[in-house]
Amino acid sequence: MTKHIFVTGGVVSSLGKGLTSASIGMLLEQRGLRVRMQKLDPYINVDPGTMSPYQHGEVYVLDDGSETDLDLGHYERFTSGQLTRDCNYTTGQIYLSVIEQERKGQFLGKTVQVIPHITNEIKSVIKRMGGDDVDVVITEIGGTVGDIESLPFLEAIRQFSLDVGRDNCLYLHLTLVPYLKAADELKTKPTQHSVGQLREIGIQPDILVCRCEHSISREDREKIALFCNVPTEAVIEEKDKDFSIYEVPLSLVDNKLDELIVQKLGLSNAANELNITPWTDLIHRLRNPRHEISIAVVGKYAEHKDAYKSIYEAIDHAGIHNQAQIRIGRIQSADIEREGAERLLSGYHGILIPGGFGERGIEGKVQAIQFARERGIPFFGICLGMQCAVIEFGRHILGLDGAHSSEFDKDTKHPVICLLDEQENVTQMGGTMRLGSQPATLLPDTHARLAYETESIEERHRHRYEFNNFYREHFEKMGMIFSGTRPDGGLVEIIEVPDHPWFVAVQFHPEFKSKPLQSHPLFAGFVGAALQRHQRRSDSHPDQ
Ligand code: GLN
């Protein structure tokens, strides 16, 4: 029988529920259990794909093409379980489904209500995650306990234990234990109140994970335990990690959280001894880098840390792979337009341009690419980054004046990037988004092939526009290498520029498939090339 862990959060938002849930998932997997992860989001939006990266961080894309909350990125980076559309639901999707059933007459004219109709729908999406091949489902409830929006979800998980048995459910509540400087004390009251709110709606948490800046004394843990009605050993400290998020699981192990969960869910027979060595090795590598390099990420949302979450993570993974500490410079592409590429990008060992939508800062990106290409600086273009690289090459090498993407200039004379149905000989797909995992074939003797060490790959997409095949021969004649294409050759997936240390740009999003223990081959290759540039430069200027 599948066991269920429900993760809720209290006191304040942004406590890192996603990271804690993912860490728990990883620890249970490292104990040999089969885990599936799910996030339920209380907002009304039906389609997370249309939400602004400014407000909500990046849109994370799964193999099956679903556009999801960025917490699912943490889940995939920490655990190996396959994530699908079923792993992320919003209030909007739940209501939409119930309303559609009502419209079809499936409730036979009965009054449709939050309880039981909405809560039943929520329970059914949780139940769907279980099965013979899953030992534990971890369901994270977004938002903060006490918000109006989360109530139906909390009510549903309360009912859930009545349906499947209290022994098969575990409620874990993440709270904040703040430090008051003036009093030089940790304060447990917010946690007491937050647990009080949970208990009011009928949920008695089994485990409290307490986020804190300073260690919680035994005395404070006993106090929290007493007031919140849990055993003292179920009050787990999760101290802030200023070094790396990958330390979170290790600190949870130090506090015996994995053992506590295994015992409480009666999984002692099914679970193995914890094998945490790969993670301690990882932290060791992180703490002992052999080199230090800097990479510029040039984007439209550079000031918003979460907008390129997976990109930054993938760069870090490539750093771990290459034993290099990487300083990431977040550069606004619009600033390059004002101040010039030379001024803002000199000194970086590599330049990366991530995906994006909208015209602002496009010319700055094109300038950054020209700078990288002409100066031989390793360059990695992703999605919009590839499209900008094509525009740059078209304008400056092919001499196509005003070459552009028809996304930004409808009337351009040279739409080197355009929608598929704008290309003469292809009519399918129109302006719809190409989403999810799709295959590509790689050309021998290219950077891409060298990095992947295989001919066939599958990568995730999220874009409407494509390289315009009308220009393919011309680009090829002028040196551009189409190192990856759709297996039938019909769409360009990867481009490379020759006579350059490493200039690779891809139409897909490799960042979604990078993991801390398994860097994505292209990110590893890019950072490896940046490292070589650093070493060459230190050789020629030994005092640098
Ligand atoms: N805006 C571009 C397109 O739709 C690129 C999208 C992206 O970078 N994800 O094709």
Give the pLDDT band of residue 366 (cuts 50, 70, 90).
very high
For residue 429, what pLDDT is reported?
Answer: 43
CA distance linking residue 434 with residue 464, whole number of Å: 6
For 67, the 3-state DSSP assignment is: strand
CA dihedral 340, 341, 343, 344 (to 10 degrees): 110
Q: Is the CB–ligand 1 distance for residue 67 below 6 Å?
A: no
For the Cβ of 356 lying below 6 angstroms from any atom of ligand 1, the answer is yes
CA of 311 to the centre of ligand 1 (A): 15
Query: Other C-beta atoms within 10 Å of 464: how many?
Result: 16
**CA 403 to ligand 1 centroid distance, Å:** 17
Residues noted as catalytic: 383, 509, 511
Q: Give yes or no for residue 464 CB within 6 A of ligand 1.
A: yes
- Which atom number of ligand 1 is nearest to the Cα of residue 385? 8
With cut-offs at 50, 70 and 90, classify the pLDDT of residue 542.
low
The rounded Cα 183 to chain-centroid distance in angstroms is: 39
For residue 354, the ligand 1 atom closest to its alpha carbon is 8
Q: What's phi and psi for 353, nearest 5 deg?
A: -115, 115
- Please name which of 302, 295, 294 lies closest in space to residue 361, comparing C-alpha atoms: 302
At 347, list the tokens: 């000194």
201-225 residue pLDDT tens: 999 999 999 999 999 999 999 999 9
Query: What is the reported pLDDT for 538?
Result: 75
DSSP assignment of 279-329: HHHHHHHHHS-SEEEEEEEEETTTT-GGGGHHHHHHHHHHHHHTTEEEEEE
Identify the sign of the CA torsion 276, 278, 283, 287.
positive
Report the distance separating Cα 40 and Cα 94, nearest Å: 10
Sequence-distant (≥ 6) Cβ neighbours of residue 417 within 8 angstroms: 387, 390, 391, 404, 405, 406, 407, 465, 466, 467, 468
35 lines ligand 1 (CB under 6 A): no
Instruction: Give, as one character, the DSSP assignment of residue 515.
Output: B
DSSP state of 117: I
pTM reported for the whole predicted model: 0.91
Instruction: Report which of 139, 134, 135 is spatially closest to residue 160, judged by C-alpha positions.
Output: 139
Rounded CA separation 373/389 (Å): 9
- How many beta carbons lie within 10 A of that of residue 489, not counting itself? 11
- Cis peptide bond N-terminal to 116, omega within 30: yes
Per-residue pLDDT band at 14 (split at 50, 70, 90): confident
Q: Is 462 touching ligand 1 by the criterion CB < 6 Å?
A: yes
How far is the C-alpha of 517 from the C-alpha of 369, rounded, in Å?
A: 30
Write phi, then psi, for 268 (nearest 5 degrees). Answer: -55, -35
Instruction: Give the model's pLDDT for residue 480.
Output: 97
262-285: average pLDDT: 93
pLDDT in tens, 140-191: 999 999 899 999 999 999 999 999 999 999 999 999 999 998 888 898 899 9
Residues, the chain, total? 544
Burial 179-194 (b: 16+ CB within 10 A, else e): eeeeeeebebeebbbb
Pocket test for ligand 1, best of 365, 382, 387, 432 (most atoms within 8 A of CB): 387
> Cα-flanking dihedrals φ and ψ of residue 167, to 5°?
-70, -15
301-352 residue pLDDT tens: 777 778 899 999 999 999 999 999 999 999 999 999 999 999 999 999 999 9
Q: What are phi and psi of 185, to 5 degrees?
A: -140, 150
Reported as type and span, the H/E element at residue 186 is: strand 185-186
Instruction: Convert the pLDDT of each residue in 230-242 to its tens digit.
Output: 999 999 999 887 7
Question: How far, in Å, CA of 57 to CA of 308, rounded?
Answer: 7
Locate 91 and state its tokens.
Answer: 């209030």
Beta-bridge partner residues of 299:
332
Spatial distance between the Cα atoms of 401 and 79, rounded to a whole number of angstroms: 48
Amino acid letter, residue 499: D
Residues 374 and 382: their CA atoms lie apart, in Å, by 19
3-state secondary structure (DSSP) of residue 19: helix
Q: Are 222 and 232 in contact (CB under 8 A)?
A: yes
Return the ligand 1 atom nearest residue 355 CA: 8
Among 124-138, 382-396, 528-542, the least confident range: 528-542
pLDDT higher than 70, residue 491: yes
Of 474, 481, 495, the closest CA to residue 398 belongs to 474
Q: Are 28 and 136 in contact (CB under 8 A)?
A: yes
pLDDT, the chain, mean: 92
CA 470 → CA 90, 382, 389, 400, 401, distances in Å?
42, 22, 17, 13, 16
Residues linked to residue 68 through DSSP beta bridges, in sequence order: 60
Atom 6 of ligand 1, residue of closest alpha carbon: 463
Between the alpha carbon of residue 398 and those of residues 163, 390, 395, 473, the distances in Å are 67, 10, 6, 11
Q: 404-405 and 379-382 as β-strands: parallel, antiparallel, unpaired?
A: unpaired
Q: pLDDT band at 423, cuts 50/70/90?
A: low
Q: Which 8-state DSSP code applies to residue 145? A: B
Look-up of token digits 């009251």:
189
Does the pLDDT of residue 544 top 60, yes or no?
no
Residues in CB range of 108: below 8 A, 6 or more apart = none
Rounded alpha-carbon distances, angstroms, from residue 485 to 12, 393, 476: 47, 18, 14
The pLDDT, as a whole number, for residue 241 is 79
Among the listed residues 59, 31, 6, the one whose alpha carbon sits nearest the alpha carbon of residue 198:
6
Per-residue pLDDT, averaged over 367-375, amounts to 97
**Radius of gyration, alpha carbons of the chain:** 25
